[in-house]
Chain A
């Protein structure tokens, strides 16, 4: 962006001279100071609430912190050792990874499908885009309270509908095998954010590519895999990363459907990492352990994102962005 501005006005000799002078001076002191002042709110927030908080959390993770007395006792690495020995850490991590592996591909495919239909329909698509977006505007609490009833295994609307088709619906919120699909279903209902991102990306694919391919005799399937997918691959990549990070932190729906009060209808299958961390921190006030859990999650998310970036770079076609 800066280079564009510098190159832009380089018209007359006088302007070019001014430009050279400016470059020679590098930074105008007054301007630099003012710039720092303008960004100072972010710097303060970053130092205190991001870097400061992360370091603070690192320190806490090596202590037993008693909230009532405010006393920190050194714990060595015992909190981290407990991460390994506590079976609920492994359980909740497994649940969370399973959920992410189930949810993210379905979200991508479903959102892309809806976006492609909207993109193809042309006139009138706006109405449906609006309609599809409404669930995204619905607060998670409202979504959860409705789906709690819709997913009821005996009388819920979803199983009633399945019954019409001759299918015996599962006990969504009780049967351990159906806990994650329940949450995935709610997530898919609110998939329109991802859909809108895909839609914007699809509109940017140059139409002449399709025309040429069609003249060359490529059918719709071929055009989809040879043009659409490569051209929107940066967007797919972006959505996968963002949705994965969100899925690994899943909390609201799991908390509302299963962990609001003491008993959960499916305590093992519904214990997600975010929920367990929250309970350790704010129900049992085990801050040292919770901080260690948070760091483990951070490292896991970092590793997964790195792997995704590695793999992504092999498949993402960045030419699309430069054109």
Chain B
């Protein structure tokens, strides 16, 4: 079932990677029931365009506000009356934005890289090897996906505290050494789509188990590696609570992007003695969103495929 990407009807990434498409699994020809009458088509397109504009509006508003002087932020004009691009330079001077972006980048790359590697090793263990208790253990992996994060928040903090690592970045990616349930599930699905003969042949040629991982799993799993890496990169980039718990109270230059923006929101807020310079907050928000949009531009199909897989695990 992992062989066809149901969202696009194309052969799945696993099938593409191996060039294998099992007979009989190709999707039914996807023709719509009956061509819609013209009026129906027009209505559908109008709905789409209306919602499209609605979804885009906050982005346009954000961009416009980031270019306005303080007094005009709330005029809601999408084309600023007074263009003030110097906001960007001012923010750059007033906030350690470059540090935040750099910190978040380092943490996100470490988090994503580690979790990709560890989850793939674990997934390979579950997908290829036969050992007692495998089903039960994999059931536990799936069960932990449903475990609310709030339950382990306090004890995990205390564990890192006892290790003397609170205030460092390590708690923000350290757990990724141990694999993560959804990614293990995703990678296992992917590996089950590879023909077992591939591994058996390599075994006969004398490859060790680690050799199988290095020479077969790694090169062929590039698509699912990308999915896992992108998902975790995004999750790490957005991780506000973790940063609040482990980095808050330290020096602002040590903050990550979410903590930094939260800090900026407070700094410029009039209730905190700021002047309500929301245009600066808008600039900062825009600058930290851009990397995510770039990521999406590069990996859109991987994000969509990953999300669709999430739906199929139920």
Write the residues of chain A forming the contact surface with B, with a CB cutoff of 8 angstroms: 1-2, 5, 27-28, 31-39, 41-46, 48-50, 52-54, 56-57, 60, 65, 67, 114, 117-118, 120-122, 128-135, 137-150, 152, 155-157, 160, 189, 193, 196-201, 203-204, 206-208, 210-211, 214, 234-235, 237-239, 241-242, 245, 248-249, 251-252, 255-256, 260-261, 263, 274, 277-278, 281-282, 287, 290-291, 294-295, 297-298, 301, 305
Contact = CB atoms under 8 A, between A and B. Distances in A.
B311 A50 contact: no
A-B pairs, top 4 by smallest CB distance, nearest first, are A45-B178, A35-B129, A38-B125, A238-B314
Contacts of A278: 153, 241, 244
Contacts of B311: 196-198, 200-201, 235, 238-239
Contact of A305 (B44, B146, B158, B292): B146
B147 A50 contact: yes
B282 interface: yes
A197 B307 contact: yes
Given A38-B121, A53-B155, A118-B48, 9 more contacts: A34-B209, A139-B292, A149-B278, A157-B76, A193-B310, A196-B304, A196-B308, A251-B241, A256-B265
Contact of A197 (B134, B288, B308): B308
Interface size class of B (residues with CB under 8 A): 35 or more
B281 A145 contact: yes
B97 to A, nearest CB: 13
Contacts of B155: 52-54, 56-57, 60, 291
B285 A141 contact: yes
A76 B128 CA distance: 48
A34 B34 CA distance: 55
A117 B47 contact: yes
B238 to A, nearest CB: 5
A298 B148 contact: yes
B238 A140 contact: yes
5 contacts: A38-B122, A139-B261, A140-B238, A196-B307, A239-B311
A256 B126 CA distance: 40
Residue of B132, B175, B310 with most partner-chain A CB within 10 A: B310
Given A137-B296, A145-B281, A147-B58, A287 B154 contact: yes
A200 B308 contact: yes
B45 interface: yes
Given A45-B175, A121-B45, A139 B56 contact: no
Given A46-B140, A128-B52, A139-B257, A36 B125 contact: yes
Nearest to A159: B76
Contacts of B293: 134, 137
Counting chain A CB atoms within 10 Å of each CB, which of B56, B125, B184, B213 scores highest? B125
A184 to B, nearest CB: 15
Given A31-B129, A41-B178, A131-B56, A248 B148 contact: yes
A120 B36 contact: yes
B154 A141 contact: no
Contacts of B173: none
B116 to A, nearest CB: 12
A112 to B, nearest CB: 12
Interface of B: 6-7, 9, 28, 30-34, 36, 41, 44-45, 47-48, 51-52, 55-59, 61-62, 65, 73-74, 76, 118, 121-122, 124-126, 128-132, 134, 137, 140-141, 144, 146-159, 161, 175, 177-179, 184, 192, 196, 209, 213, 234, 237-238, 240-241, 244-245, 248, 257-258, 261-262, 265-266, 269, 271-272, 278, 281-282, 285-286, 288-289, 292-293, 295-296, 300, 303-304, 307-308, 310-314
B1 to A, nearest CB: 9
Contacts of B281: 145
B261 A141 contact: yes
Contacts of B262: 141, 255-256, 260
B44 A260 contact: no
A203 B311 CA distance: 13
B148 A297 contact: yes
Contacts of B314: 234-235, 237-238, 241
A242 to B, nearest CB: 8
Contacts of A139: 237-238, 257-258, 261, 288-289, 292
Nearest to A28: B130
B303 A133 contact: yes
B157 A281 contact: yes
A130 B299 CA distance: 11
A75 B313 CA distance: 42
Contact of B154 (A50, A145, A290): A290
B241 A252 contact: yes
B86 to A, nearest CB: 20
B65 to A, nearest CB: 7
A237 B314 CA distance: 9
Contacts of B158: 56, 60, 65, 287
Contacts of A295: 151
B59 A294 contact: no
Contacts of A261: 266, 269, 271-272
B74 A156 contact: yes
Contacts of A129: 304
A242 B266 CA distance: 32
A197 B310 contact: yes
Given A49-B152, A255-B240, A146 B304 contact: no
Contact of A149 (B34, B65, B159, B192): B65
Given A35-B134, A36-B125, A249 B150 contact: yes
A146 B61 contact: yes
Contact of B240 (A35, A44, A140): A140
